[in-house]
Amino acid sequence: MNNKPYVDILKRRVRHFFSSRSKYWHVRLPLNANFSEQSDNLHYPLDLSPKALYPGPFDRDGIPLLTSTESDYPYNSVTIAQYALGLYEEYLVSGDLKYLEKFRRQALWLLNTCCENKDVIFWKEGSSVFDYDLHPPWVSGMAQGEILSVLCRFYILEPDQKLHILIEKVVNGYSTPVQKGGFQVRLNEGIFFEEMPSRIPSLILNGFIFSLFGLYEAFIILNNELAYSFFAEGVSTLVKLLPKYDLNFWSLYDLYSPESTISSFYYHQLHIELLRAMNIITNESIFSEFSSKWKKYYNNPYFKGRAGLIKIKQRLDV
């Protein structure tokens, strides 16, 4: 057995953990105080303004690039989409047009790099993810959702029928199963949109919720009925699955077989904020219940220490 890919993963994780850039990737993203479920509100559910402070490098068009210690491919759809959404949030709060111009560059880059196949549009990832046995090209539901949010905002700024049709094709992509190059899986609980479309369903919680945010905004901003249908089905799945992510002292990052991954401190906090946002959007009490419960876990020193020890062990088991 060739263990080199896994040794490389461990080396990359160690370098990344001790780099100053790790602060950018793990900055807290709280519920956006300016967010509401109203249709005229363009604030993202979470406050992504810290994502506007990308430390570089950038390409000549101002698009964020990953370093070789972070990925084997320099462009990453989630990084670019979150940077764009952070810029847009900064624009909404400050009114400074420099943020809007940078946002526009990211949106145009995304439009120029999509992969169109008849009535479906995807953004394909060029990096390998050995933890989930993923090799390029593959499509991330989390990326599709966040790009949807970027394009909906771009449509508000520059309404265009071609862009409207393109956004509809992005929504159509949610119907494509993993087996056919997409990111949808059907479970007993309902449909799930995979951040990592692994052969064995990985069911990453935060990525699923980010994919739902994009659908919600496509419905609110563009009145896309298919987006609402996928969103409603996804919410139903999430309500049924959520208890499976609860360890009674911490949350799980995924439900990957044979051993699920426990959340890091960062992702546990992120889960709390994502569920708070889902409660505002849907008014489903289970989201408020679990966000409150998981916050109590986080504030319990014993639970936090136990989770931290398990996480360290899992990170070393590559």
> Mind listing the pLDDT tens digit for each residue in 207-248?
999 999 999 999 999 999 999 999 999 999 999 999 999 999
Question: Token pair of 276, please?
Answer: 């708070």
pLDDT of 2 above 90: no
Residue 22: its pLDDT value, please?
72
Pairing of strands 124-125, 138-139: antiparallel
The tens digit of pLDDT for each residue in 133-157 reads: 999 999 999 999 999 999 999 999 9
For residue 32, what are the contacts with CB-CB under 8 A and spacing of at least 6? 43, 44, 45, 46, 47, 48, 89, 277
Is 8's pLDDT higher than 90?
no
Q: What is the mean pLDDT of residues 276-283?
A: 97
- What pLDDT score does 18 carry? 47
C-alpha–C-alpha distance, residues 230 and 158, integer Å: 26
Which tokens in the block code for residue 96? 């400074």
Distance CA 182, CA 297 (A): 35
Report CA Rg, the chain: 19
pLDDT bin (cut points 50, 70, 90) of residue 3 is low
Which residue ranges make up each domain of the chain?
246-318
Q: Whole-model pTM above 0.95?
A: no
Convert the pLDDT of each residue in 59-74 to its tens digit: 999 999 998 777 778 9
pLDDT of 11 strictly over 90: no
